[in-house]
Amino acid sequence: MAWFWRGLREGMVTTRYPKRPDTYANAFPAAIAVREAPPPLTAREATELCPTRAITVDDADMAQVDRGRCILCGRCTRGRPDIFTQGHGSETAAPGRTGLIVPQTAGDDTALTALRKDLASRTARFRRSLHIRHIDAGSDGSEEWEIAALLNPVYDIHRLGMFFTASPRHADVLLITGAGARGMAAPLRRTYEATAQPVVVIAAGTDACSGGVYADSYATHSGLAEMVDVDIWVPGSPPSPFSLLHGLLLATGRLTAKGLSA
C-alpha cells in the first residue's frame, strides 16, 4: 500500500522526451564544447590539457574537441575556461564518427545530413518496434548502469516500442559497449553475422568510440571501428540514458535534423 500512496503523491515520473523537451536532459552537462570566437591554442597546450588526446588544433591554432575521445575529466575547462566549457544537452549522438568533432564545419554538416537520411531509409520499418541486443566488448561496467536505467519508470523505452532481446537473431540494433577487447573480436563478428539485415550498430560510450584511456593497448583495440561497422556513435564516459535514447532514436530515423520527434 505504501507504494500505491507514493505513486499518487508523486504522480507520473516518466519523461515525455522526445515528444516534449525535457528540462533535465537539456541541462545535463553531457559533453565538452568550444566557446565561440576562442583565443588561439598551441599544440603543446592541447597535449597537456587532455589525457586522451581529444583536443587538437587546426592550421589557425583554433581548438577542436573529439567527443569520441573525451572522458569528461574536466581538465580542459579548468585549465582553459576561456576556450572550453561544459556543453549542455544530452543529444550528443551522431551518425558518423566525424560528427563527434566540435566545432563542426559546413562540409561536416552536409555529410552528416546525408548519413542521417541514408540510415533513416534503411531503418524505416524499425520505427514502431525495435529490438535491441546489448553486447559488452570490454566495458568497465559504467555504461551498463546507464543502459539498465532505460528500463526504469523515468525513461521507460518500452513506451517507444523499444525492447531488449537475448538473441541477436531477434535483434534490429546491436548496442555495443567497451573499448574493443581483442578477445571479443571473433565473438562480436559472429554476433553481427547472426543478426538479420538491415542491422544498426551503435557504439555506446567513449571507450566504444575510441578506446578511451585504454586505446590500442595489449588488451584492446582503439574502439569498435576496427571490429565492426558502426552506424551511430554515442560519446560520454559514460553516456547518460538520455544520450543513449537519442542514439536509438537517430538509429531509427525518428528524429529530424533539428532533433524533434518525427
**pLDDT tens track for 75-102:** 999 999 999 999 999 999 998 899 999 9
**Which architecture, in CATH terms, is 106-251?**
3-Layer(aba) Sandwich (3.40)
Nearby residues of 190 by Cβ (< 8 Å), 6 or more positions away:
none
Residue owning grid cell 546507464: 146
Separation of alpha carbons 79 and 143, rounded Å: 27
CATH placement of domain 23-90: 3.30.70.20
In the chain, where are the structural domains located? Answer: 23-90, 106-251
- Beta strands per DSSP E along the chain: 29-34, 55-57, 63-66, 84-88, 101-102, 130-136, 162-164, 173-177, 200-204, 232-234
Name which of 7-21, 136-150, 246-260 the model is least confident about: 246-260
pLDDT-derived band at 3 (thresholds 50, 70, 90) equals low
216 vs 108: which has the higher pLDDT:
216
pLDDT in tens, 49-64: 999 999 999 988 999 9
Nearest to 153 by CA among 13, 6, 5: 13
Instruction: Determine if the peptide bond prior to 95 is cis (ω within 30°).
Output: no
Residues 31, 236 contacting (CB under 8 angstroms):
yes
